[in-house]
Amino acid sequence: MTSNPGYHVNAPATPSPDLERKIGPLQATAINMTQMCGIGPFVTIPAMVATMGGPQAMFGWLIGAVLAVADGLIWAELGAAMPGAGGTYIYLREAFQYRTGRLMPFLFVWSAVLFIPLIMSTGVIGLVQYLGYLLPGVVADGGLTVLGHVIGAVITLLVGAALFRRIGEIGKLTTGLFVVMLLAVLATIVAAFSHFDHTQAFAFTPGAFQSGGAFWAGLGAGLIIAIYDYLGYNTSAYLGGEVVDPGRTIPRSIIISILGIAGLYLLMQIGVLGAIPLEELKSATSVASTVLENSWGATAAQVVTALIVIAAVGSVYAGLLGGSRVPFEAARDHVFLPVFGRVHPKLRLPTAGVVTMTAITLVGTLFSLTVVINAAVATLVIVQSLAQVAAIVVLRRRQPHLKRPYRQWLYPVPTLVALVGWVYIYVSSTWQSIGLSIGWMILGAIGFLVYARTEKTWPFGPKPIHEGFASAAEKRTQ
């Protein structure tokens, strides 16, 4: 590879030397599951049922789980082989540097600084909606009132402030929040099945599975909801520079968290379908609270609602924790603003990333839940999910001797499944969301050209190849 005069290979570097490896297997799995199951299913189950036209919505969660597992196996291989802060940034940097220099990692960071906090803002919006069950005046006409927006802003600022602590303390705190989340989900499931009508739960809409039926008509939009609720299984990979024994911990935490959450989601969906009449369910705003109140009374509903709110806070917390590390690694590579590459002198965390993503999350809470979900997912798909599908293929060819503690099972089948699934989700998005994602990419490309011109790098200079995770054996073959 060094024979090409257009680029040169730099020596490998130790990934993220300023960060502490304190996150063990239990904490990594807890972080993933807490991020995955925050407020998502509690606010989107009614939307899933309405979108897919009835109880057949339960299969939407199963198909979403298949896509999550397929994509998770991509994350598992890449995260185990390249365990550094920033996750996708590193994978795209390593894979695409040979042809397009720093373009792809730049575009990812450009987009991640937007879509990660937007996804977190949906958690804040959802938890404030659930607070409406406990606090009058927070929700009106399906949206947040001025009071609701103020409460959302305060919660966002408190979460941002709570991130200013050492990673070892964060891991313990997230494990505690995971327990709270698990209690809330299990309480909802048990309450639903204690007053369960199996006939109602499995009363599929006539003709739903026939060609053009309700199931197929709503599958695209339903998958957007499902994958939104599964997002977060990759958080441990974002924290790769702080994970103990990442070659084993990252793959296991990803697969265990997906399978565990998929089981909980399916049980909760079926239970809710059998506990609440279909028409009432489609318009419910706090479905878990309704289930608990119908089954065990108002007091139990209030207690579990409080647990759901706490779990949602934990999800936002875990998401911002992982997301704040993305611009950190890019700044260390001089691909993003230098301020993002600095760490707090005592707490050893990327201060600018935490502050910036907290601020964007705060702005995102001002919009409606549906608008934010569609915009965030569409942007994520085009620059992260599809790009990583290409990255795993490119890296297997370009860096065959890269140490891979985990190799994707049945490769390339899961990669192809992920490719088909992500393309289907993207084309199923609203035109506004597709337009936003493409427009944001165009702005990012313009920004990259300005950056590349200033740095005199490709396409205005050479392509410096930095195989930061290449093994000694790989180096000897070049």
What percent of the chain is predicted at pLDDT more than 90?
48
Of 135, 115, 139, the C-alpha closest to 125 is 139
Q: Please state the φ and ψ torsions of residue 347, each to the nearest 5 degrees.
A: -90, -15
Let me know if residue 392 belongs to a domain: no
Q: Is the pLDDT of residue 470 over 80?
A: no
Would you state the pLDDT for residue 319?
A: 79
Helix, coil or strand: residue 8: strand
Would you state the pLDDT for residue 8?
A: 42
| Ordered alpha helix ranges (H), 195-245 | 198-201, 214-230, 235-238
Question: Residue range 116-143: average pLDDT?
Answer: 86
Euclidean distance between CA atoms 177 and 308, whole angstroms = 10
Question: Residue range 104-111: average pLDDT?
Answer: 91
Q: Is the pLDDT of residue 142 over 50?
A: yes
Question: Residue range 430-458: average pLDDT?
Answer: 91
Let me know if residue 463 belongs to a domain: no
Question: Residue range 405-434: average pLDDT?
Answer: 94
Q: The tokens of 216 are what?
A: 């197929």
Would you state the pLDDT for residue 458?
A: 93
Let me know if residue 64 belongs to a domain: yes
Least confident of 17-31, 79-93, 177-191, 238-252: 17-31
Helix, coil or strand: residue 360: helix
**Cβ atoms of 44 and 229 closer than 8 Å:** yes
The CATH number of residue 241's host domain is 1.20.1740.10
Widest distance between CA atoms in the chain: 74
Q: How many CA atoms lie within 13 A of 40 on its CB side?
A: 28
List residues bridging with 239 in a β-sheet: 85
Euclidean distance between CA atoms 191 and 294, whole angstroms = 9
CA-to-CA dists, residue 261 to 29, 149, 178, angstroms: 11, 29, 12
Q: What is the pLDDT of residues 20-58, one digit of tens each?
A: 788 899 889 988 988 788 778 888 888 899 899 899 999
Q: What is the pLDDT of residues 384-401, one digit of tens each?
A: 999 999 999 999 999 998
Euclidean distance between CA atoms 421 and 405, whole angstroms = 26
Q: Is the pLDDT of residue 202 over 60?
A: yes
Of 447, 267, 333, the C-alpha closest to 86 is 333
Euclidean distance between CA atoms 122 and 373, whole angstroms = 7
What percent of the chain is predicted at pLDDT more than 70?
92
Helix, coil or strand: residue 45: helix
DSSP state of 85: B
Let me know if residue 43 belongs to a domain: yes
Structural domain span for residue 289 = 17-86+109-379
Euclidean distance between CA atoms 478 and 470, whole angstroms = 11
Euclidean distance between CA atoms 172 and 231, whole angstroms = 22
Would you state the pLDDT for residue 76?
A: 97
Q: How many CA atoms lie within 13 A of 169 on its CB side?
A: 8
Would you state the pLDDT for residue 405?
A: 95
Would you state the pLDDT for residue 333?
A: 80
pLDDT level of residue 11 (50, 70, 90 thresholds): very low
Of 362, 299, 280, 284, the C-alpha closest to 134 is 299
CA angle 302, 58, 310 (to 5 degrees): 30
E strands in 7-132: 7-10
E strands in 197-334: none
Let me know if residue 217 belongs to a domain: yes
Q: What is the pLDDT of residues 145-160, one digit of tens each?
A: 899 999 999 999 999 8
Would you state the pLDDT for residue 39?
A: 79
- In b/e form, how buried is each residue of 450-469, taking b as 16+ CB within 10 angstroms? ebbeeeebbeeeebbbbbbb
Question: Residue range 463-471: average pLDDT?
Answer: 78
pLDDT, greater one: 469 or 270: 270
**Cβ atoms of 387 and 92 closer than 8 Å:** yes
Q: Is the pLDDT of residue 114 over 90?
A: no
E strands in 152-251: none
Let me know if residue 273 belongs to a domain: yes
Look at the chain and report how many structural domains it folds into.
Answer: 1
CA-to-CA dists, residue 289 to 58, 184, 187, 223, 308, angstroms: 20, 10, 11, 25, 9
**Cβ atoms of 122 and 369 closer than 8 Å:** yes
Q: Is the pLDDT of residue 4 over 50?
A: no
Q: Is the pLDDT of residue 13 over 60?
A: no
Would you state the pLDDT for residue 342?
A: 84
Of 300, 284, 319, 285, the C-alpha closest to 38 is 319
Let me know if residue 288 belongs to a domain: yes
**Cβ atoms of 245 and 96 closer than 8 Å:** no
Would you state the pLDDT for residue 171?
A: 63
Whole-prediction pTM: 0.85
Q: Is the pLDDT of residue 12 over 60?
A: no
